[in-house]
Amino acid sequence: MKNITLSIDEDLLQAGREYAKNHNISFNALVRRLIMQTVVTNNNNWLDNTFELMDTLYVTSGEETWTREELYRV
């Protein structure tokens, strides 16, 4: 993998680092992902990438549960 140097506004850099930290990824991984999503228009791995990202998240409903009817109620 090649190293590159980018010039970026300090506030934007800080916001990017915070976003990456909140999503449990490195800033480098965030930049790579954004570039890939922007320039690779025919990314056949989008579903795998989505599930990979979902696996990195920690989300819980606590003790609350729902029935199928409750989930589909509009």
Report the pLDDT value the prediction gives residue 36, as an integer from 0 to 100: 84
74 pLDDT above the threshold of 70: no
Report the pLDDT value the prediction gives residue 21, as an integer from 0 to 100: 94
Does some domain include residue 61?
yes
Which structural domain range is residue 66 located in? 10-72
Tens of pLDDT along 6-56? 999 999 999 999 999 999 999 999 999 888 888 876 656 777 778 888 888
Q: Please tell me whether the overall predicted TM-score, pTM, comes out greater than 0.95 for this model.
A: no
Does some domain include residue 5?
no
Q: Helices 10-22 and 27-39: crossing angle, nearest 10°?
A: 100
Does some domain include residue 57?
yes
Task: Count the domains in the chain.
Answer: 1
Does some domain include residue 2?
no
**Quick check: 20 and 26 in contact, CB under 8 A?**
yes
- 29/4 Cα distance (integer angstroms): 13
